[in-house]
Amino acid sequence: MSKRRTKIVATLGPASESADVIEKLILAGMDVARLNFSHGTADDHRQKAKLVRDIAKRHRRYVALMGDLQGPKIRIARFANTRVELSNGQAFVLSNDHPADAGNADIVGIDYPPLVQDCAPGDELLLDDGRIILQVDKVENNAVYTTVTAGGELSNHKGINRRGGGISAPSLTDKDRADILLAAELEVDYIAVSFPRYGRDMQQARELVQQAGSNAWIVAKIERAEAVADDEALDDIISASDAVMVARGDLGVEVGDARLVGIQKRIIQHARTLNKLVITATQMMESMVSSPIPTRAEVSDVANAVLDHTDAVMLSGESAAGKYPVEAVSAMARICVGAEQEPVNKRSQHRLWERFERCDDTIALSAMYAANHFPGIKAIISLSESGRTPLIMSRIRSSVPIFCFTRHESTQNRAALFRGVYSMPFDAAAYAPEDVNQAAISCLVAHKIVHPGDWVILTQGDLYCPQGGTNGMKILQVT
């Protein structure tokens, strides 16, 4: 059983779609496999999802599947010669009327026509993740006229951001709606929504997911400036979601690099306070696309996210298209384990002065208080239907492993993303009520997680309680 508490999300792509590499990724520590719907066909994703499920089952591992929706394509069109070189100070035009495949160093078409209405003189437009910066001079004749303030090479279909946000594109496109149906077919555990601005965007996504017959949890990718404009805006999106992703690519472009780290810490803190999962993503190990060893700065980046108590760290291009996908997962796992050794990760000051609103929350947080203050506790067993009780437990800093004992495969997979939580297949209804506790402890003994003389905390609901009815906690000694 892994002692690593922080989970790893790895994106599957051309470098990691074979059975051999997927198996190595799972063995190296991949807890969640991300299917990026921006690339590949439906059949590609079907094949990768089946490989993940089959290989994980063969190794008795629980690996969640995440379907990541593309969202609105706010991009330039194409150049006649694939790419151009822009110089500082030159004029450059983004035009709705220019032919889509005939861009040049003076003008290029736009794949997102409403950009013309979203821009005004004085705005800054950032292309290709901020590598190219354009100052808007005027907007007329269905085109945006700009001056290049930071030049360089620009190629086909690069993304466009507006400094400070304000692009009016809706979060969900027709492609996203089709991909939600595919995600439901694949029975993914999480669906990530790109570019939400408000909580109502996430509510709309949830309705579409439910209509598709899926019970996947919904992840808000925080990547627009509007989403982090203030605490009220951020909490609106977090509260409407099951999890959030700190998507630092577009977010960093819109808010600026100088503010990004502080905003990342705020998102993680707010998500945990609101009992939601949080994933830190984008360029965490970027150099490992072409190098087998991370830089010291990348090590620090991953470690700091772990110290902030993120649930998961994510690999994108590193595992999808890089030369060293397995090495990237292994390095990330090693860094997580190293950072988790710091004492700050094992002590919690969380919610000491708060009131609890639900019975199951009260049991979950009481269990964590006991686990952190009674040195004999070696493990926590949560008998759970939905996974909510171990989720709430995992909001508290601790070094004690939390085991989600559940009969539902969907809950087993979903818990793969919860920090410090590990799934165990267990059907309490298969035992007489007086035998359940011993049967659960025997599972941990069989896996050599606990030994005679150790203490275990066990939480459960009475048999007459409905789902969400965890109302009891026991401290039991292993015999």
Q: Which residues carry out catalysis?
A: 34, 75, 221, 282
Q: Centre a 10 Å sphere on the Cβ of residue 126 and count the other Cβ atoms it contains.
A: 21
Residues 460, 413: Cα–Cα separation, whole Å: 20
| Core vs surface per residue 145-167: b (16+ CB within 10 A) or e | bbebeebeebebebbbbbbebbb
Does the CA dihedral 171-176-177-181 come out positive or negative?
negative
Residues 140, 124: Cα–Cα separation, whole Å: 17
Residues 215, 174: Cα–Cα separation, whole Å: 21
Q: Which two tokens stand for residue 40?
A: 């590949």
| Core vs surface per residue 233-255: b (16+ CB within 10 A) or e | bbebbbebbbbbbbbbbbbbbbb
Helix (H, G, I), strand (E, B) or coil at 439: helix
265 CA to centre of own chain: 15
Residues 185, 66: Cα–Cα separation, whole Å: 13
Q: Which two tokens stand for residue 192?
A: 């990530």
Residues 36, 20: Cα–Cα separation, whole Å: 20
DSSP 434: G
Q: In what helix (H) or strand (E) does residue 72 lie, and over which residues does it extend? A: none
User: What crossing angle do the helices spanning 19-28 and 325-339 adopt, rounded to 10°?
Assistant: 10
**Are the beta carbons of 364 and 459 closer than 8 angstroms?**
yes
**Are the beta carbons of 34 and 49 closer than 8 angstroms?**
no
For the chain, the C-alpha Rg in angstroms (whole number) is 24
Residues 74, 443: Cα–Cα separation, whole Å: 51
**Are the beta carbons of 92 and 86 closer than 8 angstroms?**
yes
Q: Where are the alpha helices (H) located in 340-378, listed in sequence order?
A: 359-373
**Are the beta carbons of 190 and 32 closer than 8 angstroms?**
yes
